[in-house]
Amino acid sequence: MTVRPWIRRVRRAILATGTTAVLAAGLLTGAAVPAQAAAQRPCDLYAAGGTPCVAAHSTTRALYGGYNGPLYQVRRASDGATKDIGPLSTGGYADAQAQDTFCAATSCAITVLYDQSGRGNSLTQGLKGGGWPGPAAGGNDNLANAFEAPVTVAGHRAYGVYIAPGTGYRNNHTNGIAVGDQPEGMYAVFDGTHANDGCCFDYGNAETSGADTGDGHMEAIYFGTNTGWGRGSGNGPWVMADLENGLFSGVNRGLNTGDPSINDRFVTAIVKGEPDRWAIRAGNAQAGGLLTGYSGPRPGGSGYHPMHKEGAIILGIGGDNSNASAGTFYEGVMTSGYPSDATENAVQADITAAGYSSAPTGSGSLTPGSAVSLRATTACCTSDYLRHDDTDTKVVISAVGSSGPATDKAAAGWIVRAGLANSSCLSFESADRPGQFLRHYGFELYLNADDGGGNFAQDATFCATPGNSGTGASFRSVNYPTKYLRHYDYTAYVAGNGGSNAWDSASSWADDTTWVVGRPLA
């Protein structure tokens, strides 16, 4: 889609260093034809339905029962080295520990999403084409932080692809993807709680030039809250089809009430099209079946009937590289031919059986994935917990009792994550506002959504140390190593032990920077 970004931000340094070249040998390792499957995975089900996968991407699991090649590649910031991450076993789930080990004490970006279909349709860094430039070197798009979308699948830890504005992936030279008015299908599993109204969080078929070449030159899944062209019922987000120069929730632009808002934690999104027919289907990726938001003729006008699809593949951006969007991708495929509803229903059953979950893997410890509370230790405030404020984005301390309001207890809950700027340190994600992180700005603490900037990753990363008062734990800022997370006058800061700011006062500094890590209150 074409839209002028309203704000241009400086992006994360480690993501802005991506090159336009991708190692050919790395791409070829993702091109092995899957073996005969013992278990039926999505692409086995599509093949059985006569509409085989021609592209299959996932950072969480194999999409063929017989696949044992790489799922994705990461590059670490410390030395630029890369590593392929594969499944733990044939047809299995991603080996997240291999990523953790390789990226220890640094940060990593996802550089390649390998195509499991054997056709070589892997996704790499979105490149500047004829459309909107990205924020990375040469006007290219950023690469996703490899640690920012942790999940579990069938109880196995894995990582998704977290798209902050300015992040995107693409392949303009594909094999077997539908062109012109040829039939195709596609599905993706997204985070239903991570969306915005920027254009355009897409996965699917797009222009090979990276430029808007006219109506009907795209056919991609869109997920978000943009209302500039079309919308469904409620406030969104919606699954819609990006057909270029229009996000369609039905046969025409505008409101189509049959397309529902969907904000489940994990969402299955489907778009499929053939000559003068297309459909939107969607559902909860953790349980239940699929709803059909639209099925019928193409939009009016010569651009959409017949279609003029070009066969590139995009993720996280529009066809012309419009990159103001946000979202999270876990898995998705594209097919040859128009899949039947029955085939898609079988695929949905496999997705729900996979057991996607964002539930914390522990409670009360500083292990990534654990849910915690942080209680003050200063004599004045031993009933006070670190929490986000109700009325703004500031982070404060306040008394939170076991019999207090549920909203107060939820606001004092945090999910421990591997540090966004250093995986050996920590970041704290809000338990009740997924996707928002504790970060300092002007030395004061706030709860903010990632804006894709390098400063954000640094500001949201803290290294745990033994408590400065001799008990509990303290948290040192990764980019201001003499400053620690501190409460002062009931407001949270990163503060040094003495300095020009009031919150740097040496009085009670050791106690104010020491926290008891406990189980969540809610």
Strands of 108-113's sheet in order across: 82-85, 72-76, 108-113
Q: Give dist(CA 225, CA 222) in Å, integer.
A: 10
Contact 453, 11 (CB under 8 A): yes
For residue 360, whether the previous peptide bond is cis, meaning omega lies within 30 degrees of 0, is no
Report the greatest alpha carbon distance in the chain: 74
Q: Rounded CA gap, 413 and 518, in Å?
A: 10
283 pairs with which residues across the strands? 268
Strand partners, 161: 329
Distance of CA 184 to the CA centre of its chain: 25
Separation of alpha carbons 279 and 75, rounded Å: 38
DSSP state of 440: E
Residues forming the active site: 244, 320
Distance CA 363, CA 193 (A): 22
Measured CA distances, 24 to 27, 103, 195 (Å):
5, 22, 33
Which residues fall within 8 angstroms of residue 205, CB to CB, at 6 or more apart?
A: 177, 178, 184, 186, 218, 219, 220, 309, 310, 311, 312, 313, 334
Percent helix, strand, coil in the chain, to 5, is 10, 35, 55
